[in-house]
Amino acid sequence: MASSEGNKLWGGRFVGNTDPIMEKFNASIAYDQRMWEADVKGSKAYVKALQKAGLVTQNEMEQILTGLDKVFDEWSKGEFKIKPGDEDIHTANERRLKEFIGDPAGKLHTGRSRNDQVATDTRLWLRDAINTLKELALQLISTMVERAAVEIEILCPGYTHMQRAQPIRWSHWILSHAVALSRDVERLEDIRKHVNVMPLGSGAIAGNPFNIDRELLRQVCLTECVCVYFWTAEFLFWASMCLTHLSKMAEDLILYSTKEFSFITLTDAYSTGSSLMPQKKNADSLELIRSKAGRVFGREDKEAMFDTYDTVHAVLQVATGVISTLKVNQPAMEGALSPDMLATDLAYHLVRKGMPFREAHSCAGKAVYIAESKNIHLSQITVEDLQTVSPLFDKDVSSVWDYNRSVEQYSAPGGTARSSVTAQIEHFRTWLQAQKQKP
């Protein structure tokens, strides 16, 4: 079973090497390495929650924290070496952590999925990015306001439909764009609240079965709540709006800088020349602002807005009708359950006996391979065969093959256990009532 797949976070169940083209196609390290700091921070928070839940010892936690500090130090000094097997930032950091501290690194991923890990990393990174963008936007607005104050006596034509309309103060034109940008800042503040939540500890789909203290994770990462939102789309919408405003301003300034207008002149620092015509002075800074805006928002106009409204209006009504009238075939749903879906539970069974999760994940993957090789269900593997994978397996492994038991172990907030789902239902009932009472 020796394979490069064993180095991957998901490798134990697979045999052989990944196609090199697929390897490159699937890799995200080229761009997600920018989240190295957020990834280390999230992992440091998570190991503290693991220690509180009794899944790692105090000594193991200290080793992992020390190792993560070393990983952090390498990144901060620009000395971290990415290797071919590092398909993403999570794999890279855990690989390096294991090189520093050995086997205890294998326990760091217990109960954690790359799904909630990347969601956490993205949020932590985006939260800091939003802070930076807000600061830059405020600097721009401040500059515009101060210029408007100094040049308040300057008058210029106001334009509509590219035609001279009414005289206005030059400051009036400046502040009209400052107002739009100020609203962008307010929207960005709202988005930061949505971004500043903690998905870590939610697992891949069902939740976390190890009584992980998600409130502790929230406090350590300084987030506002434990929740999930579609934060990326919201941020992209904000960026689209903000760049629309900046594109409008740039378009005016490009016109004002032409010989025909001659309202403004750009400094050489923000202009370029022509490779053919020596007299040219091109407003490339402004033209690039406009082209970058187009790169973000693609197509955005009133026609699209109205069409989108009509579509959503119809979709919501149709979806409501579908959900309110569909019928559930419970026997078919339950009949679709199969023991291979409990492979993660098999790994957790070993974790509860003290095995590091990374090793347990690999063992469960090997058990899946044995079942497939013998053309039997995972639950039909004999204890003797399982013991060839790990001596920790014994007769009590039979308790794993219980779907209800599997579901009920995910009782942490956001999990799929009955108590958790009931709490979610009550939460939404309360929330819906509160929404109805708003003016």
Q: Is 274 a catalytic residue?
A: yes
Antiparallel, parallel or unpaired: β 163-169 and 155-160: antiparallel
Between helix 343-351 and helix 357-374 the angle, nearest 10°, is: 140
Residue 325 belongs to some domain of the structure: no
197: domain CATH number is: 1.20.200.10
On whether the CB atoms of residues 90 and 71 are closer than 8 A, the answer is no
Residue 52 belongs to some domain of the structure: yes
Task: State whether 80 and 123 are in the same domain.
Answer: no
Task: State whether 205 and 284 are in the same domain.
Answer: yes
Domain hosting residue 389, numbered range? 339-408
Task: State whether 105 and 137 are in the same domain.
Answer: no
List per-residue pLDDT tens for the chain, 439 residues long.
Answer: 334 444 566 556 656 665 677 667 667 888 889 999 999 999 999 999 999 999 999 999 999 999 999 999 999 999 999 998 898 999 999 999 999 999 999 999 999 988 889 888 988 999 999 999 999 999 999 999 999 999 999 999 999 999 999 999 999 999 999 999 999 999 999 999 888 888 888 888 888 899 889 888 888 887 766 554 457 888 888 999 999 999 999 999 999 999 999 999 999 889 889 888 888 889 999 999 998 888 887 656 657 767 778 887 888 888 888 787 878 789 998 999 999 999 999 999 999 999 999 999 999 999 999 999 999 999 999 999 999 999 999 999 999 999 999 999 999 888 899 999 999 899 989 988 898 888 7
Q: Which two tokens stand for residue 91?
A: 């794999």
Q: Is 427 a catalytic residue?
A: no
Residue 318 belongs to some domain of the structure: no
393 forms beta bridges with none
67: domain CATH number is: 1.10.275.10
Coil, helix or strand for 168? Answer: strand
Q: Rounded to two decimals, what is the model's pTM? A: 0.83
On whether the CB atoms of residues 121 and 89 are closer than 8 A, the answer is yes
pLDDT at position 322 is 77
359: domain CATH number is: 1.10.40.30
Task: State whether 357 and 294 are in the same domain.
Answer: no
Residue 421 belongs to some domain of the structure: no
Q: Provide DSSP, 308-345.
A: HHHHHHHHHHHHHHHHHH----HHHHHHT--GGGGHHH
Q: How far apart are CA 239 and CA 59, in angstroms?
A: 45
Residue 157 belongs to some domain of the structure: yes
pLDDT at position 44 is 96
Which of 84, 110, 136 is the last residue before a domain boundary?
110
Q: Provide DSSP, 249-308.
A: HHHHHHHHTSTTT-S----GGG-B--SS-TT--B-HHHHHHHHHHHHHHSS-SHHHHHHH
Q: How far apart are CA 223 and CA 301, in angstroms?
A: 36
In the chain, the number of structural domains is 3
Which of 110, 141, 156 is the last residue before a domain boundary?
110
Catalytic-labelled residue, pool 76, 142, 274, 291: 274
Q: What number of residues does the chain have?
A: 439
Closest CA to 133 of 177, 176, 192, 195: 192
Coil, helix or strand for 14? Answer: coil
Q: Which residues, at least 6 apart from 309, have a Cβ–Cβ distance to it below 8 Å?
A: none
Residue 315 belongs to some domain of the structure: no
Task: State whether 258 and 165 are in the same domain.
Answer: yes
On whether the CB atoms of residues 110 and 104 are closer than 8 A, the answer is no
58 alpha-carbon distance from chain centroid: 30
Task: State whether 99 and 121 are in the same domain.
Answer: no
Task: State whether 137 and 256 are in the same domain.
Answer: yes
Residue 330 belongs to some domain of the structure: no
Which of 76, 110, 144 is the last residue before a domain boundary?
110
Task: State whether 150 and 269 are in the same domain.
Answer: yes
Q: How far apart are CA 12 and CA 110, in angstroms?
A: 15
Task: State whether 171 and 232 are in the same domain.
Answer: yes
Task: State whether 193 and 292 are in the same domain.
Answer: yes
Task: State whether 183 and 34 are in the same domain.
Answer: no
Q: How far apart are CA 98 and CA 79, in angstroms?
A: 17
Task: State whether 241 and 281 are in the same domain.
Answer: yes
Catalytic-labelled residue, pool 161, 275, 324, 373: 161
Neighbours of 365 (CB within 10 A): 22
Residue 143 belongs to some domain of the structure: yes
pLDDT at position 96 is 98
